[in-house]
Amino acid sequence: MTVPKEVAGGSGGRIAGKVAIVTGAGNGIGQATAIRFAAEGAMVVGADIDRDRIDKTVATITGAGHKGLAFVGDITEEDVAERLVAAANEAFGKVDILVNNVGVTLPGRIWELKAETWDFVLRTNLRSMFLCTRAVVPQMMERRSGRIINLSSGARRGTPWQAFYSGHTPYATTKAGVEGFTRNVSMELAEFNITVNAVAPGPIKTESSAHAHVRWADPNFRHSPLNLVPLGRAGTVEEIANAILFLASDESSYMTGAMLDVSGGR
């Protein structure tokens, strides 16, 4: 993945001088967001549990002449989430933007799901969001400024191309939970001029969903998103990063508690 040409090498940008933490930045939407933020002038701390992946993301950022820091750890652990924020403060002096992107899904229909699978998905997708948000907001409250962007999904309403074939109810549940989390935390933090919004992608082409793209194109796959999404295609990680960037910028200053669907019309 490369830095967008229109802003590569520039000293300005829509979030110039801001410090951003992006979780799950080793691949997919998180990686695209971290790279786009850096190109738009932010100093980026990318967090991931996989060292090789996050090192590649940060190498792309620094190789383009921007500032980035890799953080490796499991942010579902309290001390790790706190160390992530501390590392950003130590490297860049503050945190202006938090993107809670890290997330997983695992297949399984409700009658065959193991409790361990349910717990793992909820812990990864919701506990990490809670811990990172809790760790970062005190300094934002003190400065009376901040942007928090959470990743939900169209799956919060159920996803036919998953549900009819392989379940994924824990994932859908967490993404509905993100909406409630976003709404309530936005009200808690409004008096401090901290905005809290969410982006809800539709079907997106990522490395982890590459195997699904072939199936989606199969004319016998009745519930393919290519049939159910009005625009007739999957989105790209760059299109989601664009929406996240908007919510991180001053252009969204009068938005909080919002769910921004980027889903091809579904």
Per-residue tokens: 175: 């993404």
Catalytic residue numbers, as ranges: 171
One DSSP character per residue, 97-121 reads EEEE-------B-TTT--HHHHHHH
Tell me which residue has tokens 């769910």. 259
Residues 51/75, Cβ–Cβ less than 8 Å: no
Nearest-5° Cα angle at 54, 178 to 83? 65
8 A C-beta contact, residue 70 and residue 120:
no
Q: What is the number of other CB atoms lying within 10 angstroms of the CB of residue 144?
A: 10
Q: Which residue has the tokens 């664009």?
A: 242
- Locate 249 and state its tokens: 């910028």
